[in-house]
Amino acid sequence: MKIRNLMLAVSLAALTVSGCQQVDAEPRAAMQIDSSSAWGSYLSNFLDGYFPLNPTFAIYQGKHEFDGQLPDWSPDGLTKMIDMRKKAIAAAQAIDAADLSEAEQFERDYLINVMEGELFWLETADWPHKNPEFYIGALDPNVYIARPYADAETRMKAFIKYANNVPAAAAQIKANLKLPLPETYVKLGQAGFGGFADYYTGDAKSAFAEVKDADLQRQFDVAAAAAAAAMKDLAGHIGSVPATKDGYALGAEKFAAMLSKTEGVNISLAELEAIGRADLKRNQNALAEACSEFAPGASIGDCMAKMASDKPADGPVEEARLQLPGLRAFLVEKDIVSIPGTEQAKVEESPPYNRQNSAYIDIPGPYEKGLPSVYYISPPDPSWDEAKREAYIPGTKDLLFTSVHEVWPGHFLNFLHSNRANSIFGKLFVGYAFAEGWAHYGEEMMWEAGLNEGDQETHIGQLSNALLRDCRFLSAIGLHSQAMTVAESKKMFLEQCYQDEGNADQQAARGTYDPAYLNYTMGKLMIRKLREDWTNAHFAKQKAEDGGETAGWKEFHDEFLSYGGPPIPLVRKAMMKEDEAKAVF
């Protein structure tokens, strides 16, 4: 998922309520802040300072007064980004707790955590000088092309302004990135920056073909050509010095700091690894049992191949379109979570510059009105041989759980709930572990709730996705704290998690530049433990009387989703009425 574009909401009005949450049918329209209170005044000033320093973030939330702008990535601009966040933390901490309601105190903790997490990437990890991904997300022009927030001419003008700003941004990036880069970073940067170059003069040009203004088309061509040249030059530059095999590892100390600062998880890496290996073993055992029924006598690899051989007849995009209505109907039938509103998600093929992962969803921000979310699915890399391309296309049941993850009841449903929240700050920020943990949790939860009524091919599809995330979890720890090589990571994806070669290539590489991709499994496990503890506290009698494992699930899901996206330890503290926020697995 493009986490940079998925900015969900948090409901802080209901923090002190336990049990079932009331879910509004329509989104809350108010996006204004009451500045009369101490916290409201602080929050208003915070956003007034944050948006100009992060205009691409603002644009994706629907603040189109920033259209066409890019961040200032000069040394002075980066210093301002760091200083602003440090000052925001200090100012939030300086507000007297007596002047804050319980909900506002929670929101303050939430804001401080978000700012500390962003400081980690900016300062401690030093991503602006090391990682092309820091820039690729912010350069993404998809909002102007694929999001119909205005007429085509208006969006074309915004794109032209954006394109005119690209050469200066490219020069700043070129000056910032310290060469040589690791091999995986070079490949990422060349695919991303080079992909933008092709996109500007190709698909972006085609997207505005309906605009009949000849002068505007001329302006577009001039701006797009200059932007494309700048991106091609940048792509060439990062590969101009021979790449290194290593150099991607954060190191154990920084990796632990990442977990603490970004997600509030403070346990030893040894304990964390043991948790991940236990989940890997649990899923491997479940896979062996499912395969004994689905493909008796076959090896696990052959069993997985049998599941994967059931390819979508009309391709994965069309298959996903067919899957979504049935998934939504299952949620309604089982009544395991509320579905507010009537919004639907579109399914499209991902653009060429953003195919580093197999699927993701782009969800409009809270300042937008009435716009669709788009679930993107990536085709195989055309440079691969035919067998590798064929293997990359998921089986229908594997794809089913990608659709669960991205839409029902994953990211899209998370958005439907959070778009109806009260908190302005919460509408704008979401934690990686909350968003991906919820979506991944939803996969296993749907199987447990009876999706496809015990069909073992379906179970193997679910387990394939679970094992993929288990290997991400262990790969992140290994690559960044245990000197694991990319080749060793790929081998683990192939042999321990039974992924195809193309996916294993992508996932091993991703672990080097996305060390937080362990958040899928980490978030899932924290949510499962919270569900167990919360339903035992609130629905023990129903469980005992009915023998129903799903007793209290709907109430839990609705309340959990009402928080939108804070660090899960903060949500646990609020839901369990605990004295401190802590990670429990």
pLDDT digits (tens, 9 = 90+) for 445-477: 999 999 999 999 999 999 999 999 999 999 999
Pairing state of beta strands 345-349 and 359-362?
unpaired
pLDDT score at 353: 67
CA-to-CA separations, 332 to 51, 339, 397, 408, 452, in angstroms, rounded: 38, 8, 21, 11, 15
Cα 530 from Cα 572, distance rounded (Å): 7
Location of structure tokens 């916290």: 39
**pTM for the full predicted model:** 0.92
Location of structure tokens 């304990």: 271
How much is the mean pLDDT over the chain? 92
pLDDT score at 22: 53
Tokens encoding 223: 């701006």
Q: Any residues with CB less than 8 A from the CB of 492 and at least 6 apart, and which? A: 471, 474, 475, 478
State the average pLDDT over residues 345-360.
85
Reported confidence tier of residue 428, pLDDT bands at 50, 70, 90:
confident
Classify burial at 411, counting beta carbons within 10 Å of its beta carbon; exposed 0-12, middle 13-18, buried 19 or more: buried
Phi then psi for 489, rounded to 5 degrees? -65, -45
Does 15 score more than 50 pLDDT? Answer: no
H-helix segments, 482-552 = 486-495, 501-513, 519-546
pLDDT score at 3: 36
Question: Hey, which residues does 347 pair with through a beta bridge?
Answer: 375
Of 258-267, 366-375, 491-500, the one with minimum mean pLDDT is: 366-375
CA-to-CA separations, 214 to 226, 386, 495, in angstroms, rounded: 19, 43, 57
State the average pLDDT over residues 418-444.
87
pLDDT score at 166: 98
pLDDT tens digits, 540-555 = 888 887 767 899 999 9
Cα 493 from Cα 480, distance rounded (Å): 16
State the average pLDDT over residues 57-66.
96
pLDDT tens digits, 253-266 = 999 999 999 999 99
Does 25 score more than 90 pLDDT? Answer: no
Is the preceding omega at residue 394 within 30 degrees of 0, hence cis?
no
Cα 536 from Cα 544, distance rounded (Å): 10
Q: Is 533 helix (H, G, I), strand (E, B) or coil?
A: helix
CB 470 within 8 A of CB 552: no
pLDDT tens digits, 117-128 = 999 999 999 999
State the average pLDDT over residues 504-508.
96
- Structure letter (DSSP) for residue 451: G
Give the distance, in angstroms, between the CA of residue 396 and the centroid of all CA atoms in the same chain. Answer: 23
